[in-house]
């Protein structure tokens, strides 16, 4: 068994003892989570959605638990066993929950890939975990995961069994097929063991693998469900990829299942589809990344649907500009909750009883009284209260190292995680995210915060969304380029005048504008700054050749 099933390798024993004594950690595990939910909530509706064959389902807790048992018997027959890593790359379809709970039942460890991940990511996940299997959809949404498997498998050092969850598995195994094995008893996993690997959500570079234990993750799930006031009446629409940490646990599908509510899965994030689903399914809560939330806000007036059951829109994953945040209640008629989290652990929420300016102007405060927050300057000294600096954190659900000790520089010697985020803190403990370490454009020594300029840009009535990125410049080092999404784009001069009227310093005015109909996005739908920079580099190369 690998060192990663050993609790002491993941958290210091003294901390574990303290968290247990405080009641943060307990003996719950994912191996029995669904059975216990089924015992408590039996006939309540657990999940609504369609499967990879396009068949619609409505499953009670009991039915979901039975489906997970059937999947466990199938996976057991395919040889999956305790301790195995299994890469799960499934979309928002009803196979997802039975699959992960089947793996938990067997004591196997899911590795949560996103449907948008491709060869580079999959190769990394499969090889570095020595994965036993990879569960993928088959052909789905115009992409053939079987071809991806054919491309990736031959180059792997380890043999990986590909299991296709949708129709037509071709030469691979089928998740739904016979034969099935007898159902073993739930694996006797320890709460402090590694439960699964999440993947880091950086908008640059290859994702890192994040070892989460049953105890730490379940603590964050229970507390998230409590903070977000979930109950058996909660009906959560899941639009973001289901395996992302936000969607899984903040409070996400696991929080809803913990509380006995209903998860409604959809694969279609377009405003028309989302609004009609909210109407038809009497959705009370949903979650979006900012680019998606901005589209919903922009298109709400054009779509005829009743959203009166919707109580909360959660927005997180990237900075939600205050200008947009202020529109949520007037436009959608629901409350906003900002969520600032990371797959590595720490999650912050604005609370239901926070004043409006805190809800629209901050990214929330930590889940736990035991979350330690450090805000440091470039030299590693604490900044004066209220000033911005690098966020480091440590606590009862934040990892102490990446899987296999990757990127050790991301952690201090005393176990703090360097988030890479620049934040400041209000006296109430609420954090305001000002950007990433690298999102500051250095224009001849003058630092420009991308977030600040973007905030001003989207205040323009004709601008739906905006992103500011650096362009390399021989003279200044960097200049700024604003990418604008707009149906009726203003001219560059109009935008500069608008920004000047809002009091933006001249050096912060974008040097260049690019107008687009959509942004390149990361797997979960955040704006990919890496892809924007690449696109910009290509545009600039073309421009240069025109000049020649």
Site residues (vs ligand OOB, CB under 6 A) = 200-201, 245-246, 250, 316-319, 338-343, 347, 363, 419, 421, 433, 436, 524
Instruction: Please identify, using beta-carbon distances, which residue of 69 and 434 lies nearer to ligand OOB.
Output: 434
Question: SS3 letters for 519-532?
Answer: CCECCCCCECHHHH
359 close to 422: Cβ distance less than 8 angstroms: no
Per DSSP, the residues of 487-534 read SSPPPHHHHHHHHHHTT--GGGS-SEEEEESS--B-TTS-B-HHHHHH
Q: 174: which 2 tokens? A: 């089928």
| Minimum distance from residue 199 beta carbon to ligand OOB (Å) | 8
Q: 340: which 2 tokens? A: 């600032």
Instruction: Please identify, using beta-carbon distances, which residue of 48 and 346 lies nearer to ligand OOB.
Output: 346
| Minimum distance from residue 168 beta carbon to ligand OOB (Å) | 32
C-alpha angle with apex 350: 344 to 352, nearest 5 degrees?
135
SS3 assignment, position 349: strand
Round to whole Å and give the CA distance between 184 and 530: 46
| Minimum distance from residue 162 beta carbon to ligand OOB (Å) | 26
| Minimum distance from residue 238 beta carbon to ligand OOB (Å) | 13
Instruction: Please identify, using beta-carbon distances, which residue of 227 and 433 lies nearer to ligand OOB.
Output: 433
Round to whole Å and give the CA distance between 220 and 223: 5
Instruction: Please identify, using beta-carbon distances, which residue of 421 and 454 lies nearer to ligand OOB.
Output: 421
Is residue 377 reached through a cis peptide bond, with omega within 30 degrees of 0 on the bond before it? Answer: no
Round to whole Å and give the CA distance between 422 and 433: 6
Round to whole Å and give the CA distance between 347 and 335: 19
Instruction: Please identify, using beta-carbon distances, which residue of 169 and 290 lies nearer to ligand OOB.
Output: 290
Q: Which helix (H) or strand (E) holds 374?
A: strand 372-376
| Minimum distance from residue 314 beta carbon to ligand OOB (Å) | 8
| Minimum distance from residue 242 beta carbon to ligand OOB (Å) | 13
| Minimum distance from residue 396 beta carbon to ligand OOB (Å) | 16
Instruction: Please identify, using beta-carbon distances, which residue of 390 and 443 lies nearer to ligand OOB.
Output: 390
Round to whole Å and give the CA distance between 240 and 242: 6
Instruction: Please identify, using beta-carbon distances, which residue of 213 and 250 lies nearer to ligand OOB.
Output: 250
């Amino acid at each position: 068994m690998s060192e990663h099933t050993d609790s002491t390798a993941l958290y210091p024993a003294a901390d574990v003892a303290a968290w247990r004594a405080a009641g943060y950690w307990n003996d719950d595990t994912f191996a029995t989570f669904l059975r216990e939910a089924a015992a408590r909530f039996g006939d309540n509706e657990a999940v609504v959605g369609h499967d990879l064959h396009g068949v619609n389902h409505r499953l009670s807790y009991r039915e979901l638990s039975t489906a997970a048992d059937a999947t466990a018997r199938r996976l057991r027959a395919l040889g999956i066993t305790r301790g195995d890593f299994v890469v799960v790359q499934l979309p928002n379809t009803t196979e997802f929950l039975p699959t992960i709970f089947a793996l938990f039942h067997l004591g196997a460890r899911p590795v949560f890939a996103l449907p948008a991940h491709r060869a580079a990511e999959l190769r990394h996940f499969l090889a570095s975990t020595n994965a036993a299997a990879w569960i993928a959809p088959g052909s789905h949404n115009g992409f053939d995961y079987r071809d991806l498997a054919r491309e990736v498998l031959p180059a792997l050092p380890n043999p990986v069994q590909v299991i296709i969850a949708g129709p037509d598995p071709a030469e691979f195994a089928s998740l739904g097929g016979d034969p099935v094995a007898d159902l073993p008893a739930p694996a006797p996993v320890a709460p402090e063991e590694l439960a699964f690997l999440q993947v880091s959500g950086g908008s640059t570079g290859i994702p890192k693998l994040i070892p989460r234990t049953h105890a730490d993750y379940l603590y964050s799930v229970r507390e998230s469900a409590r903070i977000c006031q979930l109950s058996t009446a909660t009906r959560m629409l899941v639009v973001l990829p289901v395996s992302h940490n936000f969607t899984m646990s903040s409070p996400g599908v696991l929080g809803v299942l913990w509380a006995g509510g209903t998860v409604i899965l959809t694969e279609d994030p377009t405003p028309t589809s989302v609004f009609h689903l909210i109407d038809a399914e009497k959705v009370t809560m949903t979650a979006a990344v900012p680019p998606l939330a901005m589209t919903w806000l922009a298109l709400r007036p054009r779509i005829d649907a009743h959203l009166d059951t919707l109580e909360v829109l959660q927005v997180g994953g990237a900075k939600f500009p205050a200008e947009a945040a202020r529109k949520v209640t007037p436009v959608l008629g629901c409350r906003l909750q900002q969520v600032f989290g990371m797959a590595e652990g720490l999650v912050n929420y604005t609370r239901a009883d926070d004043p409006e300016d805190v809800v629209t102007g901050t990214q929330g405060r930590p889940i736990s009284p035991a979350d330690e927050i450090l805000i440091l300057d470039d030299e590693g000294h604490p900044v004066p209260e209220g000033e911005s600096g690098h966020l480091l954190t440590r606590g009862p659900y934040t990892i102490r190292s990446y899987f296999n000790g990757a990127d050790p520089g991301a952690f201090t010697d005393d176990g703090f995680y360097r988030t890479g985020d620049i934040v400041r803190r209000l006296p109430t403990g609420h954090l305001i995210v000002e950007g990433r370490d690298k999102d500051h454009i250095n224009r001849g020594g003058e630092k420009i915060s991308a977030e600040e300029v973007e905030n001003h840009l989207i205040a323009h009535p004709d601008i739906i969304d905006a992103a500011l990125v650096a362009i390399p410049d021989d003279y200044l080092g960097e200049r700024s380029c604003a990418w604008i999404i707009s149906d009726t784009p203003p001219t560059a001069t109009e935008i500069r005048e608008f920004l000047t009227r809002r009091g933006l310093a001249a050096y912060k005015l974008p040097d260049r504008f690019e107008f687009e109909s959509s942004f390149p996005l990361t797997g979960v739908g955040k704006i990919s700054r890496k892809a924007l920079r690449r696109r910009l580099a290509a545009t600039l190369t073309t421009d240069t050749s025109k000049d020649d």
